[in-house]
Amino acid sequence: MSDESKISVCNLYKIFGENPQGALEKVRAGMGKAELQSETGHVLGLNNINVDMPTGKTTVIMGLSGSGKSTLIRHLNRLIEPTAGEVYVNGENILDYNEHRLRRLRQAEMSMVFQKFALLPHRTVLENAGMSWAIEGKNRKQYAEEATRWLNRVGLEGQGGQYPAQLSGGMQQRVGIARALTSNSDIMLMDEAFSALDPLIRTDMQDLLIELQDELSKTVVFITHDLDEALKLADHLVILKDGFVVQQGEPQDILLNPNDPYIEAFVSDINRARVLRVRSVMKTTSDTPQEIAGEVDANDTLESVIATSRGDTTKNYRVMRNGRQVGVLHMRDLVRALVPRVASDASGEWMLEK
Amino acid sequence: MATYDFLFDKLGLRGWCGEEQGGGLSSMADLMGQAGGESDTSLWELPFPSLDALNDACSSVPQSRDLTRGLERGFLDIKDSLKVVVDPLTQPLSWALENALWIMQSVPWWIMIPLLMLITWGVGRSGKLVALVAACFGFLAFIDFYDHTMQTLAIIFVCAFICVLFGVPIGIAMSRNDRVQKALIPVLDMLQTLPPFVYLIPLIFLFSVTEPKLYGIAIILYAIVPVVRLTDLGIRLVDKDVIEAADAFGMTRRQKLFGVQIPLALPNIMAGVNQTIMMSLAMVVIASLVSAPGLGVLVLRGIRSLELGVGLLSGLGIVLLAIILDRVTKAALARINAEQKS
């Protein structure tokens, strides 16, 4: 796993307070967040985090507010210094970097998208998009082409001369994404990037991000408090609670096998048919079975497949991605996946018998 | 026979005090007391154990006038060595003021007034404002206050420019370092609350009244405070998210300062410049007491020789000048705001 991971976080601790090292001893000895706060007045931000973020994939870090997710993402480019632990990017421990090398990392290897957009209000949209180039000392002429290309790609044709305040929230965040893309860095950190947007615009932006990911395959680290969003975007899902990792893995897998009451509570409210996707229920194969009722896309939700099949559980579908077959979906597997684990404990035997 | 005799007796300090009954100079109150005979001091009349009261009981304790005199002597003692340092440092200020005064007065009015109107247009882009400037200067020139007005304006231009030149960097230093801020805030508080006349007293000792830097320094000290404070405030108020974004994209401290912090703090800095200009106008009037030329001289003439008309008119002139300077700087501020917010 760690060979193909772009970013690895190892044994990371972050404690806020007067004497973090002293508090660290207590945390390592097993003291919890609430206890530490009441006894020493220190806030436990992150508690022994170990996460590998795969190259070219989207890693979503999910948790409620106060779970430490924003603190964690800021460790990846050292906007926050850890109390203990290591952060490896491309195999190098960035905590060993000096100021100059760290700046290079932030300029060339990582880019970041913020919840509140954080655009420069006194610069035009084009200048904002070309910010990383400007930081490296390039002038407007040199970055105009590249910045315009990405502005066009995120759907902001002809807006380059505007100022950020003249745009709506969704458009401002498109500028934020264009700014991150223009830097041509492999890693994109997104801190609750869509949380401040209206639901409809948020869905648009999620779709945009998925499209861009299909095209570019960047290593995206995405922070969110919204499980639906997490499940929609994630290749690798990390769930944080009170500063530690409760569960991490393939999102659909977490949904199907939650290992903690906290996650079960999260998952139970989810409309599984709408969230689970064909790709996580299908059998991966390029063979074409005999009876094919039709074709579905790998990213279709189960809900839409049920609608297509009109509830017939005997059908099989060919699963397509970008016009090529990637697998086969049996409707029986689909129905099985719709039952939450708590319920399936009782009925699982019967299901298997069938 | 003084109230606090017992204190020195009890502490056994009588010997240190010298002779039994405090001789030497006696205050008027002492003489009055002696004349009125021995008085029983009741608790109600107990004097505060001040220097003078203690001196009554023990002549080795200095009187309060010795304190002020000592302060004066101390200042006079270091004056010469202070002058060696301060004099060459502040000499450019004298030159700047002399040259500004000379230029503003030697350029003929038919160039100067249109030039000022042009500057107003450049700063504010408002026809109304230009008309206001023309009307005010026209009026002041019409009642033969033109020279005085130009002198006042020259002093303000020089002093406000120097205030910004030093004030903005000081404000930036304060915003970047909490310790610098903590150290400077009491100084700024003192400069702001010290009555303006008090600045003049030590300066008169230091410099000759014929040197323009005498009033120049007084004006700068008084007027530099708002631009320092508002620069510090403005930079500290810059959106934390934007600063974080600048960090996340790897800006250096210098790029952050000039590319993000100063541009975003500019509305506040300009508000500080506006205040600085207004305060230097207030001080330039008071500074006429120490030979600063300009409209203040006319105000002073009105007071000294009870020329009511001159005093009132020159006061009006200062008001007009204040309005113009305020409006023009505010127009500049509004334009910056509009650029950022639009």
Interchain contact, A106 vs B263, CB within 8 Å: no
Quick check: A338 contacting B, CB < 8 Å? no
Could you read off the pLDDT of B263-311 as tens digits, one per residue?
Answer: 999 999 999 999 999 999 999 989 998 889 999 999 999 999 999 999 9
Superfamily of domain A5-270: P-loop containing nucleotide triphosphate hydrolases (3.40.50.300)
User: Which contiguous run of DSSP H or E holds residue A353?
Assistant: helix A341-353
Q: State whether ipTM is beyond 0.95.
A: no
Q: Which of A106, A117, A119 sits opposite B250 (nearest CB)?
A: A106
* A341 pLDDT tier (thresholds 50, 70, 90): low
- Say which range, A182-191, B49-58, B286-295, has the weakest mean pLDDT: B49-58
Interchain contact, A121 vs B340, CB within 8 Å: yes
pLDDT at B26: 53
pLDDT at B34: 56
Quick check: B269 contacting A, CB < 8 Å? no
Beta bridge partners of A10: A86
Classify residue A294 by its DSSP letter: E
Q: Does pLDDT of B261 surpass 90?
A: yes
Please name each of the domains of chain B with its CATH number: 5-62 (no CATH), 77-341 (1.10.3720.10)
pLDDT at B162: 96
Q: What would the mean pLDDT of B29-35 be, rounded to a whole number?
A: 56
Q: Which positions in chain B touch A98 (Cβ < 8 Å)? A: none
pLDDT at B197: 84
B127: its two tokens: 């026809």
* A14 pLDDT tier (thresholds 50, 70, 90): very high
User: Please, what CATH class does the domain formed by A274-353 belong to?
Assistant: alpha beta
Interchain contact, B249 vs A183, CB within 8 Å: yes
Quick check: A77 contacting B, CB < 8 Å? yes
Interchain contact, A122 vs B250, CB within 8 Å: no
- Say which range, A283-287, B22-26, B291-295, has the weakest mean pLDDT: B22-26
Other Cβ atoms within 10 Å of B290 Cβ, number: 18
B332: its two tokens: 């500049």
Residue holding tokens 């002020």?
B68
- Domain ranges within chain A, ordered by starting residue: 5-270, 274-353
Residue holding tokens 């700014």?
A179
pLDDT at B164: 95
pLDDT at A268: 79
Could you read off the pLDDT of A132-152 as tens digits, one per residue?
Answer: 999 999 999 999 999 999 999
Residue B132 to residue B153: CA distance in whole angstroms: 16
Quick check: B245 contacting A, CB < 8 Å? yes
pLDDT at B39: 53
Q: Which of A117, A135, A163 sits opposite B250 (nearest CB)?
A: A135
Interchain contact, A118 vs B241, CB within 8 Å: yes
Q: Is A10 helix (H, G, I), strand (E, B) or coil?
A: strand
Interchain contact, B242 vs A77, CB within 8 Å: no
Residue A277 to residue B293: CA distance in whole angstroms: 84
Q: Which of A281, A284, A289, A285 has the alpha carbon at shortest distance from A306?
A: A281
B43: its two tokens: 């608790």
pLDDT at A181: 93
- As a whole-number percent, the residues of chain B with pLDDT over 90 amount to 61
Could you read off the pLDDT of B58-70 as tens digits, one per residue?
Answer: 888 888 888 999 9
Q: CA of B337, closest CA in chain A: separation in Å? A: 10
> Inter-axis angle of helices B262-286 and B308-341, to 10 degrees?
180
Q: What would the mean pLDDT of A260-273 be, rounded to a whole number?
A: 82
Q: CA of A135, closest CA in chain B: separation in Å? A: 6
Quick check: A132 contacting B, CB < 8 Å? yes
Query: Looking at the whole model, is its pTM more than 0.90?
Result: no
Q: Which positions in chain A touch B239 (Cβ < 8 Å)? A: 118
Q: Report whether A23 contacts A14 (CB < 8 A).
A: no
Q: Which of A176, A179, A186, A231 has the alpha carbon at shortest distance from A213?
A: A186
pLDDT at A252: 80
Could you read off the pLDDT of A55-81 as tens digits, one per residue?
Answer: 999 999 998 888 889 999 999 999 999
Q: CA of A209, closest CA in chain B: separation in Å? A: 20
Top pLDDT among A318 and B106 is at: B106
Cα–Cα distances in Å, from B111 out to B118, B214, B295? Answer: 11, 30, 21
Could you read off the pLDDT of B185-200 as tens digits, one per residue?
Answer: 999 999 989 888 888 8
Other Cβ atoms within 10 Å of A304 Cβ, number: 15
Q: Does pLDDT of A163 surpass 60?
A: yes
Provide the edge-to-edge strand list for the sheet that holds A294-297.
A283-284, A324-330, A316-321, A294-297
* A347 pLDDT tier (thresholds 50, 70, 90): very low
Other Cβ atoms within 10 Å of B169 Cβ, number: 12
The chain-wide mean pLDDT, for chain A, equals 86
Q: CA of B161, closest CA in chain A: separation in Å? A: 25
- As a whole-number percent, the residues of chain A with pLDDT over 90 amount to 45
Quick check: A122 contacting B, CB < 8 Å? yes
Quick check: B264 contacting A, CB < 8 Å? yes
Which chain B residue lies closest to A124 (C-alpha atoms)?
Answer: B340
* B31 pLDDT tier (thresholds 50, 70, 90): low
Which chain B residue lies closest to A74 (C-alpha atoms)?
Answer: B248
Top pLDDT among A339 and A221 is at: A221
Interchain contact, B342 vs A163, CB within 8 Å: yes
How many CB pairs (< 8 A) connect A and B?
A: 64
Q: Does pLDDT of A1 surpass 80?
A: no
Interchain contact, A114 vs B244, CB within 8 Å: yes
Quick check: B241 contacting A, CB < 8 Å? yes
Q: Does pLDDT of B18 surpass 80?
A: no
Q: Which of B244, B251, B264 sits opposite A121 (nearest CB)?
A: B264
* B239 pLDDT tier (thresholds 50, 70, 90): very high
H, E, C per residue of chain B: CCCCHHHHHHHCCHHHHCCCCCCCCCCHHHHHHHHCCCCCCCHHHCCCCCHHHHHHHCCCCCCHHHHHHHHHHHHHHHHHHHHHHHHHHHHHHHHHHHHHHHHHHHCCHHHHHHHHHHHHHHHHCCHHHHHHHHHHHHHHHHCCCHHHHHHHHHHHHHHHHHHHHHHHHHHHHHHHCHHHHHHHHHHHHHHHHCCHHHHHHHHHHHCCCCCCHHHHHHHHHHHHHHHHHHHHHHHHCCCHHHHHHHHHCCCCHHHHHHHHHHHHHHHHHHHHHHHHHHHHHHHHHHHHHHCCCCHHHHHHHHHHCCCHHHHHHHHHHHHHHHHHHHHHHHHHHHHHHHHHHC
Give the angle B311-B316-B318 at the CA atoms, nearest 5°: 95
Which chain A residue lies closest to B339 (C-alpha atoms)?
Answer: A122
Which chain A residue lies closest to B264 (C-alpha atoms)?
Answer: A122
Q: Report whether A64 contacts A265 (CB < 8 A).
A: no
Q: Does pLDDT of B19 surpass 70?
A: no
Q: B249, B253, B270: best mutation site toward chain A, by most A Cβ within 10 Å?
A: B249
Q: What would the mean pLDDT of A161-176 be, rounded to a whole number?
A: 91
pLDDT at A333: 82
pLDDT at A353: 40
pLDDT at A207: 92
Quick check: A173 contacting B, CB < 8 Å? no
* A352 pLDDT tier (thresholds 50, 70, 90): very low
